[in-house]
Amino acid sequence: MKFIVSSTALSSHLQAISRVINSKNALPILDCFLFRLEDGTLSVTVSDGETTMDTTIEVNESDADGSFAVTAKTLLDALKELPEQPLTFQVNTDTFEILIQYTNGKYSLMGQNADEYPRTVALADNAVRVDIAASVMLGGINRTLFATADDELRPVMNGIYFDITTEDITMVASDGHKLVRCKTLAAKGNERAAFILPKKPANLLKNLLPREAQNVVIEFDERNAVFTLEHYRMVCRLIEGRYPNYNSVIPQNNPHKITVDRAQLLGALRRVSIFSNQASSLIKLRVQENLVVISAQDIDFSTSAEESQVCQYAGSPMSIGFKSTFLIDILNNISANEVVVELADPSRAGVIIPVEQAENEDLLMLLMPMMLND
């Protein structure tokens, strides 16, 4: 079996899918790329047992169909050093010896039998199908991924919840302290459906979607989901379980509304939080007419900081405490110039929304307060 392929095309596709491979795998074959040549199209597959990704590359010429597996790290490192040029692969399909020839040299390595590679799961007949623009999906994943949890006791919180209706698609993530709800009107389903996408596949999509111009086709049943992109296809195991009712924790009536410049507030939080207690990262926001005072202190080391920011606020004075790292994360994941912080009282969650929402988008972030000692 022999085929010729561009070195940079092959290298860039292998780099993109190699993130699926775990550093330690239960099956040695999962350390490999699975190459399959069929009718002049080369497909390469990787898997970690739960997530499988494959990509297709057009070859310049080929003489026969066939398949083989080859250790991923060796091949990736070897291709990384090559400039753009045609690579000729010659594979002995009986012994799995691989000879890769390039302009002024050659690599020789041993492959493995492709039949040992695990088979990709098939979806059930009742699988739901949804089309969503790559940019819309990327925006939703970017805004929600940081709020997912790492909770062994509640695995449903460790992913992004896709809530699909006939009018919109809502992506939700929460770790119990912060919650992000990103609703898009630019995509919808044909029926009511939902699934929980684990963190690793979400990160893989986050890296692939910026290069996509087409729609992403999502097909899923109760256990698995298939994401089809222009040159990539990913099959992943979903998180099973019932996601909590996220709408029930969002306060509907917050009388205290503070409108503030996002970048200025973010800068103040970064400066003041340096002086907060290392263990709690507690910062205090004291709001009064058209002014918010951000303060922090660490009694153990006798350090403190305070900074004032101009804002739009007309209610009665109040103080509320937040974990600074969480509040900084939230503000970092909003792109608007100004945000509205909606508060009810110091013991209830604060809601943060952009003043100007992106087109066809409704973004809301929620943060639970921390108790103030004073």
- Predicted pLDDT of residue 340: 93
pLDDT band at 226 (very low <50, low <70, confident <90, very high): very high
pTM of the model: 0.89
pLDDT band at 145 (very low <50, low <70, confident <90, very high): very high
Pair 369, 324: CB distance under 8 Å: no
- Predicted pLDDT of residue 29: 87
Residue 262 has pLDDT above 90, yes or no: yes
- Predicted pLDDT of residue 49: 85
Q: Compute the average pLDDT of residues 204-225.
A: 91
**pLDDT tens-digit readout, 296-309:** 998 888 899 999 99
Residue 234 has pLDDT above 90, yes or no: yes
Pair 37, 62: CB distance under 8 Å: yes
- Predicted pLDDT of residue 374: 63
Residue 305: Cβ-neighbour burial (10 angstroms; 0-12, 13-18, 19+): middle
Residue 373 has pLDDT above 80, yes or no: no
Q: What is the mean pLDDT of the chain?
A: 90
Residues of the chain above pLDDT 70, percent: 100
Crossing angle, helix 7-18 and helix 72-80, to 10 degrees?
130
Closest Cα partner for 249 from 113, 153, 344? 344
Q: Compute the average pLDDT of residues 330-339.
A: 92
**pLDDT tens-digit readout, 8-37:** 999 999 998 999 988 888 788 888 899 998
pLDDT band at 99 (very low <50, low <70, confident <90, very high): very high
Place of tokens 């079996």: 1
pLDDT band at 224 (very low <50, low <70, confident <90, very high): very high
Residue 347 has pLDDT above 90, yes or no: no
Q: Which domains does the chain have, with CATH numbers?
A: 2-116 (3.10.150.10), 128-248 (3.10.150.10), 251-367 (3.10.150.10)
- Predicted pLDDT of residue 59: 86
- Predicted pLDDT of residue 312: 92
**pLDDT tens-digit readout, 158-208:** 999 999 999 999 999 999 899 999 999 988 888 999 999 999 999 999 999
